[in-house]
Amino acid sequence: MRVFAYEFITGGGLAREALPPGLAEEGECMLRALVTDLSLIPGIDVLIARDSRLPALAGIDSIAAGPGHEPVAPYLLGLEKADAVWPIAPETGGMLERLTRLAEDSGKLLLGSRTAAVAVAASKRRTAAVLAAAGIAVAPVYADPLALPDLPGPWVVKPDDGAGCVDTLRVADSMEARAALASRRGKDLVAQPWFEGEAQSLSLICRDGHAAVLSRNRQHIRVTHGRIGLHGLTVAALPVTAADRGLARAVARAMPGLWGHVGIDVVETACGPLVIEINPRLTTSYCGLASALGINVAAKVLALLDGPTAADSLSNLLPTYTLPVEIGLETCHA
């Protein structure tokens, strides 16, 4: 089976503009990790798209993407050439949703979350509403400055469809948050209270309302001049708990279209974990999973194609050991 591993940043999605160094570095990290895992699976032939400004990946068939191409042209060509597609892209601007819908419309195997789940996860407001309705502890999200409550302490202001911490700010209080929402200047911004606690993430494998937690990761967050940045993470830093597994199952039931590798960002507060957002795709933590867990996560995802029994036995996919792996980042993108 030929699998098209498409990473938007390094695969020509920004071929007509300057490559942002941080995003390109992280995209490259995820792409290389995924390609390595896929290449180790018998019977799998890997295809990628490659921005012409980047060096080729040795031994990997690729589609060249230059400034003369429409941003999604290499992706469409890859869909034609492959049996299955594994899209990696930011949710910003509906890009991941668009790529996912194109894959579904093509009739090719989609090795990622379904369009309906991606559309929900791409919006902080919709995610919070869906999870709260399912009884999951989630950070509240406010878009209307008039509805924003006068809670004490700092607030976070960010794009509703933002990926990671891009354009994410911490402001001093609800008054500043309200002012930021009121002066959005066409941007779809939201605000959330700042919750004290440790920033963490869960790496999952999901299918049809089922989920298994692969690792619990620690995120290294800094606030510099009001800007919130992810400057690194420790994959498998913490033991997976029964509460983590319960949260993962609850999220998967609330968003049954989540499929394959999924990330959940949480803040571990004094009252327990609080969900910040859902990433319906590969995240930067994937770069360290093979070393941290000693398993081929891509192979585990492909095993989900075997049918409902694979979802019922997700617990069998858990690693037999964990080894914390550090990943350093120089930018705030994740």
* Rounded Cα–Cα distance for residues 34 and 8 (Å): 14
Instruction: Give CA separation, 226 vs 90, 154, 171, 229, 232, in Å.
Output: 23, 10, 7, 10, 18
Domain 2-111 has CATH 3.30.830.10: no
**Highest CATH level, class, for 124-133+196-328:** alpha beta
Which pLDDT belongs to residue 313? 61
| Tens-place pLDDT, residues 171-186 | 999 999 999 999 876 5
When the pLDDT of each residue in the chain is averaged and rounded to a whole number, the result is 92
* Confidence band, pLDDT 50/70/90 cuts, at residue 310: low
Dump pLDDT digits (tens) for 153-165. Answer: 999 999 999 766 7
- Enumerate the domain spans of the chain: 2-111, 124-133+196-328, 145-193
Q: Average of pLDDT values for 41-65?
A: 96
Confidence of residue 166 (pLDDT cuts 50, 70, 90): confident
Mean local confidence (pLDDT), 288-308: 92
Q: What is the pLDDT of residues 61-100, one digit of tens each?
A: 999 998 877 889 999 999 999 999 999 999 989 999 999 9
The model's pLDDT over 244-277, given as tens digits with 9 standing for 90+, comes to 999 999 999 999 999 999 999 999 999 999 999 9
Confidence grade of residue 334 (pLDDT, cut at 50, 70, 90): very low
Q: What is the torsion angle, in degrees rounded to the nearest 10, for the CA atoms of residue 181, residue 133, residue 220 and residue 282?
A: -100
Residue pair 144/151 in contact by the 8 Å Cβ criterion: no
- Quote the pLDDT of residue 185: 66
Q: From CA 60, how far away is CA 224, in angstroms rounded?
A: 40
- Within 13 A of 140's CA, how many CA atoms are on the CB side? 8
% of the chain with per-residue pLDDT over 70: 94
Angle, vertex CA 97, rays to CA 334 and CA 163, nearest 5: 20
The whole-angstrom separation of Cα 139 and Cα 271 is: 13
Question: Higher model confidence: residue 31 or residue 333?
Answer: 31
Rounded Cα distance, 221 and 279, in Å: 17
